[in-house]
Amino acid sequence: MVDEKQFVLHTWTKQADWNAATIVGGAGAWFWDKQGRRYLDLSSQAECCNLGHQHPAVVRAIQEQAGRLCYISNAWGAQPRAELAQRIVALANQNPESRIQNAEDREHNTERRIHNPEGAIQNPKSKLQTPIYGRVFFTCDGAEATEHAIKIARWVTGRRKIISRYRSYHGATHGALSVSGDARSRGMTDGLRDVARVLPPYCYRCPFGLRYPDCGLRCADHVEAVIRQEGPDSVAALIAEPAAGTNGIAAPPDYWPRLREICDRYGILLIADEVMSGFGRCGAWFAWQAQHTTQAGALPCPDLFTLAKGLTGAHIPLGAICVTERVAACFDARTLETGLTYSGHPLACAAGLAAIEAYDAEGLIARATQLGRWMFERLRAMQRRHACIGDVRGLGLFACVEMTEDTFPQPLPWLKTLARAALQRGVSLAVRGNLMFVCPPLVIEHSDLEWGLSVIDELLP
């Protein structure tokens, strides 16, 4: 076997510290190393293997597509690309009729916010054409989806500024890291210009010293105050993770609709980063669908939302941005001046189609809610037994367990030791700073999850 450490630069780590087993196979929520040691995957790797490892239908779809056509550029059509885009759009539009109508009314009323620099709005949808979402732009991963969402928002509005949150993560490319409110972006001194950050909806250690729900969502008022300070006419978009994130922020469900209302008030586009929260992770196809409605009773639909990770269940890298038809139509007569060699790669799109089919056929989105309910009960019971746990938050099968000791983003030494001990016992889990994430594949057996949690329970001080 080749010594990987000798030849590979590994991500987000001091190279000297990297010391991992070589994994040779996996199935469902389990994977194993070359010595045959088995590990239960309680983090879905990087919160991306929502379908578990080696989902047979996805593997088969990739093999079949590889036998037909591996690659064709965007200058040509490719059926997997077309079908996947159609499927994503349908999932985004599959809200109850009344909600679609309400949201469409909202969009109709805020027509002004989409400014086409080359003239009038192109091909505006009539009220009878109910679907909101219209088209998909494909990228290779989540960071590129962020990059292109920012570009599209700037082109469509003719404005430059992007509002993003502290304690957010939108990818490691230059622009995506610049809009990320993440400690890892602090070294990016020459990042994107025209980015303003807002404080996060972080109820456990509220930056405003208030308590939810009596706070009246002061964090949302603060977003509006920052927009007003920045000059609303200069703000193209607000980007945020609706529910789950690597920085451990899980907003209360009435926060996202408030963002929608604020964006509407100032003609700002709302970008939902669904890279981690999408495809069942938060108990819905997309986490924005699991939020409360706006005061007007409308579903808080973002104007653009980004996807990756669960889109193919990480079987092949693929990212995407789903946009409203109103946004898409801005590029009917105007060139979309961007591109990627692998945009809508047929193999990746075939994997995406099979993944969506699997989520649907196996009822995995609903399962994430049901199993998640049980998982949260179990984690809250642990919180009552272990004084080191300060907060348990999240949605669906995304749980963030925050310890009372506040070291974030610096590691909490005993938590790192706990993760190593769990691995020794065959449980793989993600820890970051003083946070522990429990985000198993949606296909995990109930008994396996129960066993994995009991190992954590035994190891907690």
Ligand X SMILES: Cc1ncc(COP(=O)(O)O)c(C=O)c1O
Minimal distance in Å, beta carbon 142 to ligand X? 2
**Structure tokens belonging to residue 360:** 């649907």
Q: Does 245 bind ligand X (CB under 6 A)?
A: yes
User: Site residues for ligand X, window 123-142 (CB under 6 A)?
Assistant: 141-142
Identity of the residue, 203 or 307, whose beta carbon is nearer to ligand X in the bound complex: 307
Question: With binding defined as CB under 6 A, does residue 241 bind ligand X?
Answer: yes
Q: In whole angstroms, how close is the CB of 172 to ligand X at the nearest point?
A: 6
CB of 173 vs ligand X, minimal distance in Å: 7
Sheet holding 389-395, edge to edge: 389-395, 398-403, 435-438, 430-432
When binding is defined by CB under 6 A, the residue of 182, 224, 273, 325 that contacts ligand X is 273
* Contact status: 198 vs ligand X (CB under 6 A): no
User: Which x/- pattern, by CB under 6 A, does the window 167-186 give for ligand X?
Assistant: --xxx---------------
Scanning the structure block, which residue is given the tokens 């805020």? 110
Least distance from ligand X to the Cβ atom of residue 144, Å: 7
All residues at 6 or more sequence positions from 201 whose CB lies less than 8 Å from its CB, including other chains: 217, 219, 220, 249, 251, 252, 255
- Specify whether the backbone of 13 is left (phi greater than 0), alpha (psi in -120 to 50) or beta: beta
Assess contact for 393 and 206: CB atoms under 8 A.
no
Stretch near ligand X under the rule CB under 6 A, chosen from 269-277, 390-398, 421-429, 444-452? 269-277
Q: Which is nearer to ligand X, 43 or 434 (CB)?
A: 43
Q: Name the residue with the smallest CB distance to ligand X.
A: 142
- Site mask, ligand X, residues 296-325, x = CB under 6 A? ------------x-----------------
Taking phi first (over 0 means left), then psi (-120 to 50 degrees means alpha), and beta for anything else, what does residue 296 get? alpha
> Cα–Cα distance between 8 and 103 in angstroms, integer?
48
Residues 350-369 within binding reach of ligand X (CB under 6 A): none
- Choose the binding region for ligand X from 238-246, 327-335, 371-379, 416-424 (rule: CB under 6 A): 238-246
Residue 429 interacts with ligand X (CB under 6 A)?
A: no
Among 43, 65, 95, 246, binds ligand X (CB under 6 A): 246
Question: Which whole-number Å values give the CA distances from 220 to 241, 327, 425, in the listed order?
Answer: 14, 25, 43
From candidates 49, 51, 132, 143, binder to ligand X by CB under 6 A? 143
Report the distance separating Cα 114 and Cα 118, nearest Å: 12
**Which residues, 26 to 55, sit near ligand X by CB under 6 A?**
46
b/e map 352-383, b = 16+ CB within 10 Å:
bbbbbebbeeeebbebbbebbeebbebbeebb
Residue 282 is a binding residue for ligand X (CB under 6 A): no
Q: Does 276 sit near ligand X (CB under 6 A)?
A: yes
Side by side, which strands form the sheet with 319-324?
133-139, 319-324, 304-307, 269-273, 235-240, 161-165, 195-198
Question: If binding is defined by CB under 6 A, does position 275 make contact with ligand X?
Answer: yes
Choose the stretch contacting ligand X; rule: CB under 6 A; options: 126-134, 163-171, 227-235, 362-370: 163-171
CB–CB of 361/171 below 8 Å?
Answer: no
Nearest Cα neighbor of 284 from 91, 48, 84 is 91
Count of residues of this chain found to bind ligand X when the rule CB under 6 A is applied: 15
Residues 70-129 that bind ligand X (CB under 6 A): none
Judge residue 332's burial from the number of C-beta atoms within 10 Å of its C-beta, 0-12 exposed, 13-18 middle, 19 or more buried: exposed
Under the rule (CB under 6 A), what is the footprint of ligand X?
A: 46, 141-143, 146, 169-171, 241, 245-246, 273, 275-276, 308
